[in-house]
Amino acid sequence: MLRKLFVAAVFVVGAAQPLLADNAVDPQADFKAFREYFTKRFPKVQLDDFVNGPYSMDEGLRKQWKAIEEFPPYEFAVDHGKEAFAKPFKNGKTLGDCFPNKGVGIRQNYPYFDTKSGEVITLELALNQCLEANGEKPLDYTSQEMAALTAYMAFTSRGKPFDIKIPNDPRALAAYRSGEEYFYTRRGQLNFSCASCHVQSPGGHIRTEVLAPALGILNAMPIFRSEWGNMGTITRRFQTCNSQVRGVPLPGQDVLYRNVEYYLSYMGNGLPISGPGARP
């Protein structure tokens, strides 16, 4: 199905939700087609390098990046996240108590499909669920505090390949499919889908920015953007991308954002976590 979707996304300008209705959901086949598309289109890019987003596409940017990484601008966030992780709640427990291995080295397993609630649980959502379960106030999904926590978790998971599972449960397949659909659906006044930019045009420019390829697009999250002067969570990035097409962003951790994160992370399976990242 995905192959057909690509064709539609790439060549049929203006087509919305093409060919989705009567195809079976087949994540493995989608995965194969997705990977083939990117590796064929960018034969010079090493597979693991796709996780470096715009830097994998542009030599000039890559040089800037090497310079940025000498004094990583996300370092403060990682340190702060580490502290926040260890800080006891009022009840004496910590964030680490909510996660396997105290939250260290597990970022590659999120999002996962929770067969109890029947929903996709992202890392950002899991963090807030932990805070709330312990009587603490949840964080804004676009806040620096949330970014610091996920930056720390990504940092301790660097190099570990994304390992997203889709259990054999019709609800999990439906969530995956909904995320896929969201990704290929055109929206906003500019009538662009996520795929219009990140599948059709990676390496292309929007103003001064170089578009990241959809393959491995979540491995480096959260990111420090020099343009923002601070960190961005996955929620913030999705909302910004919605606004870029003059669309209406969804509320943080809306089920559709979680589903599209599920879809994209599954497409990134096997590629190493590289977050937190730094971008111009």
Name the residue nearer to ligand HEC (CB basis): 85 or 180: 180
Q: Smallest distance, Å, CB 62 to ligand HEC?
A: 13
Q: Smallest distance, Å, CB 181 to ligand HEC?
A: 12
> What is the torsional sign of CA 194, 266, 75, 80?
positive
Structure token pair of residue 205: 């420019």
Q: Smallest distance, Å, CB 48 to ligand HEC?
A: 14
* Residue ranges that bind ligand HEC, judged by CB under 6 A: 53-54, 192, 194, 196-198, 206, 209, 211-212, 217-218, 220, 223, 237-238, 241-242, 244-245, 260, 279
Q: Smallest distance, Å, CB 203 to ligand HEC?
A: 10
| Integer Cα distance of 108 and 101 in angstroms | 13
| Integer Cα distance of 115 and 280 in angstroms | 39
Residues in the chain: 280
Name the residue nearer to ligand HEC (CB basis): 198 or 258: 198
CB-based burial label for 114 (10 Å; 0-12, 13-18, 19+): middle
Name the residue nearer to ligand HEC (CB basis): 95 or 120: 120
Name the residue nearer to ligand HEC (CB basis): 5 or 95: 5
Name the residue nearer to ligand HEC (CB basis): 25 or 241: 241
Name which of 220, 208, 231, 278 is nearest 67 in CA terms: 278
Q: Smallest distance, Å, CB 67 to ligand HEC?
A: 17
Name the residue nearer to ligand HEC (CB basis): 56 or 156: 56
| Integer Cα distance of 189 and 167 in angstroms | 36
Name which of 256, 262, 111, 279 is nearest 187 in CA terms: 256
| Integer Cα distance of 96 and 86 in angstroms | 7
| Integer Cα distance of 39 and 46 in angstroms | 8
Amino acid identity at 199: V
Q: Smallest distance, Å, CB 211 to ligand HEC?
A: 4
Structure token pair of residue 69: 């990484």
Name the residue nearer to ligand HEC (CB basis): 54 or 252: 54
Q: Smallest distance, Å, CB 91 to ligand HEC?
A: 35
| Integer Cα distance of 107 and 122 in angstroms | 10
| Integer Cα distance of 185 and 8 in angstroms | 11
